[in-house]
Structures are given as C-alpha cells and as structure tokens.
Amino acid sequence: MTTVPPRQVRAAAALVGVEALIGLVTGVLYLFFSGRGFGTRAAEASYFLLIAVALGAVAWFLWRGHHGARTPAIVAQLVTIPMIYNALRTGDYVVGIAGLFFVVATFMLLISEPSRRWAVGADEESRSE
C-alpha cells in the first residue's frame, strides 16, 4: 500500500539514504585503498556496495510511502549497533558517537507514533469511517 508518509518517515528515509551513500563511499574506498589483495578488497567492497544498494532501495520506498519498507529500515538500524560498539571499543570515538546519534535518531523516527500509525494504516481506517 502506498500513501503519503508523515514527516517522521520522510526524515527517516532521508537518513537511511545518507546511510546508503556512506556505504557506497565506504565500498569504493575499500576497493581502491585497502592494503589487502585484490580478491579480498573486491569482496569487502562488493559487500558494502550491496548493503548500500539495499539501503538506497529502502530509503526510496520509504520516501515514496511504501509501508513495507519500514521494517527493513528498523532492522538496518539494529544491525548497525554492533558496528558502532566495535568503533567505540577500538577507540574510534568520533565515528562511534556520531554513528550512535545517527542510528538512534533514525530508529526513533521510525518507531514514533505517527510512523507506527502510518505503517499499520490506522490513519486511513479512521478516515474511511
């Protein structure tokens, strides 16, 4: 079902789109600047590029108002938390703290009350009655 999403969903879609761009840049950087052999670099880069394409699709569908894109976006935020923990644990505090705020903000937008009501179609049901 496609409806006009609330502001919170549009904001979350924009943030997920930024995550996709970060994944794309990371994949390209791994391909060209990693100190490992080409096979390992290509595998790591393709992983990041695959994730970037998936997040880009999720962001696009959220922006366009597809209800089913909310769950993959939430899962992506939850999957990112261990990576943020690893960045903090290894002493990369700038990336860890920035990533933590970014992921928490996106997650909170996705689970907000207007986002939830939109995802379950509660707004459309109340209008039709």
Tokens of 63: 């922006």
Which of these, 104, 116, 49, lies nearest to 80 by C-alpha position? 104
pLDDT average, residue stretch 106-126? 85
The SS3 of residue 45 is: helix
Q: Specify the pLDDT at position 124.
A: 60
Percent of the chain topping pLDDT 70:
93
* Domain containing residue 46: 7-122
Number of domains in the chain: 1
Spatial CA neighbour of 47 closest among 28, 72, 63, 67: 28
pTM for this model (two decimals): 0.87
Residue-wise pLDDT tens digits, 52-82: 999 999 999 999 999 899 999 999 999 999 9
Q: Is residue 64 part of a domain?
A: yes
Asked if residue 128 is part of any domain, the answer here is no
Is residue 122 scored above 80 in pLDDT? no
Domain assignment present for residue 2? The answer is no
Instruction: Tell me if 129 is assigned to some domain.
Output: no
Is residue 1 assigned to a domain?
no
* Domain-located, residue 12: yes
For residue 69, the number of C-alpha atoms closer than 13 Å in the C-beta half-sphere is 23
> What pLDDT is recorded for position 38?
82
